Structure 1
């Protein structure tokens, strides 16, 4: 969706998500340094990141060093020349071979790293919107066939009962952390299996929706071409257009405005939805203690969109060849 108005550009809409992603990353690194350090360096002999002991390995310190300091290696002669230039009487012994000078500040490289990190976090977090976009025809009223309706109800009730069976002990005794620690892999795998079963049972319905959507968009493009031809004929001085043609042009403009309106609503809502996804993803990382598994399960859920897209592609080709 690209128009002449400044808010129609993707850069403007997703700049908010990028900046918010940077803020969330800083929040996580500052407040959960110990958990992130343990996840990044699981086999290293590090001290608790919350302590102030010298030599403590910390993701927060590593990020700070990466962004706000630049270290250069110098030879002995160059280092002594620099000391003389700034008026220092202290000279470095020639036996000292490892000489480093650190420059602190906020270089342009740090700004680039922050922008790229915020954008990647935003894109990674938007997996939920990707899934919702793929199955949006199932969320809203899209009347299925009778047999699929009952299959869907049975599936939904069964899956809801299964999730209740997992979460009931957690709610009964209030030991959320213990139950989550023992069942987090089971819960994540259950969500993935539930999504797979949902796609298997509803793939045909999703395909029918996309076929109708394609026809609707194709008709709209034809309408736009006819409207442009009609306006061109008026511009060139052809005045024999009848009322029926003008009435069709008005209907075409109404359809065009309708499509433009829902696109604006969806795309702007998508920009704010991404912020919600960023918060959800941050919470997901936190409850997993920033473990590798949290990223893996998140990627597997997003990977389901590839199978849905491939199914639609193959079904479209097979339908056309019949």
Structure 2
């Protein structure tokens, strides 16, 4: 597996994923009961935006850089976007040179009663993550396969928590693997919160995965898709989505508001768009979209 997230750190898809992640963590943290957070494809946890890798494909300039520019100008950011902007600002005293991966965002929000397990298969990335997390209380880094860890670690002893699944999508069968593993994990932990990030390159494959996830989910499900460019000829990744199984109370409304803002501010070419599908606990669907 050759994927290195440093090439894409801070792009529009990361902004969507991390805004949704922080929203879920803060809402779940409103209750005192302990949480367990599992990140199955964790990466190195911190990315230098002035590195050679980031310079090869500076996607962050059309992602987090636009968010931070809006924040500096005093824009009225949606709550989910504001959380991410504040987290990034805390790491950058001067300019914008560092972007946090999901492990760092999670670790900075852990309470004394909480615990996190970060899983990363690539040895170099896992070593970097271990060094970054050294001395952090309640944090465990595992250098192993994320899919295997998913099934071995759920449900956690806390019985309350969140799983973030963010595969590299280098394998053309990744959606099939994701559908199967997510269904297995939800069966084992039907009350767990699951956040799944995925690229929308093949819309038919993405919709098939969403349908399978909806079948597997026991209760509520929400799908937030951010389209950076509605031109089908656009180069590179033009659309990405975040699917939530059992999203925390209020997450759906907060994420839908963030989507509209992100589409307007991170769009390119033919413009940005968004889609939000929400199946409530009573089985009714709410669908909103501009694409």
Q: Under a length normalisation based on structure 2, what TM-score does the superposition of the two structures give?
A: 0.21
Q: With a CA cutoff of 8 Å and minimum separation of 6, indicate the structure with the bigger relative contact order.
A: 1
Normalized per residue, the structure richer in strand is: 2
Q: Under a length normalisation based on structure 1, what TM-score does the superposition of the two structures give?
A: 0.20
Structure with higher Rg: it is 1
